[in-house]
Amino acid sequence: MMTRRALSLLTAALLAVLALAPVARAECAPERVDLRGDWGQARFSVEVVDTPESRAQGLMFRESLPRSAGMLFIYEAPTRASFWMRNTLIPLDMLFVDPTGIVTHIHHEARPLDETPIPGGDNVLMVLEVNGGMARAIGIEVGSELRHPRLDQATASWPCEGSAPN
């Protein structure tokens, strides 16, 4: 018998798979990210945080996150990224992304309120936070590609269709 959480994650994964055809055709938009890999494709609506203040706040004090939503942390330049879960009330998966849009590290199921550092490695330009367990449920893995208009389109592994290089 499936737990309610497992059923929820499975449902979200199926919804992401059903959205595959539109992902392939749609152009990029600042309020969403597309991911693809050998596992298929998925799309998340995102809130972009790209200032030191908004990145410091992140998802703190929020009690929920819609299943197909996330928060996209964007840095001014590639950096050594490290996170923690201080004042974060929901479990999260963190996908660390390099300047070409490749997922280089995934931290699964970060524990709410845990202050243990979560290192993402060097050369991180973006971090996508989604509901804990979502990356495994969908099949997202290291090496998956992320598409977003804030990546340098001239060097992106999966550039936005119809966009000029940044």
147, burial (CB in 10 Å: exposed 0-12, middle 13-18, buried 19+): buried
* Percent of the chain scoring above 70 in pLDDT: 81
C-alpha to C-alpha distance for 131 and 145, rounded to whole angstroms: 19
Q: What is the pLDDT of residue 27?
A: 83
Summarize pLDDT for 82-138 with one digit per residue, the tens.
999 999 999 999 999 999 999 999 999 999 999 999 999 999 999 999 999 999 999
Does residue 165 carry a pLDDT above 60? no
pTM: 0.84
Query: Among all chains, which residue has been given the structure tokens 């996150």?
Result: 65
Q: CATH assignment of 4-147? A: 2.60.120.1140
Q: What is the DSSP letter of 85?
A: -
The full set of domain ranges for the chain reads 4-147
C-alpha to C-alpha distance for 91 and 47, rounded to whole angstroms: 17
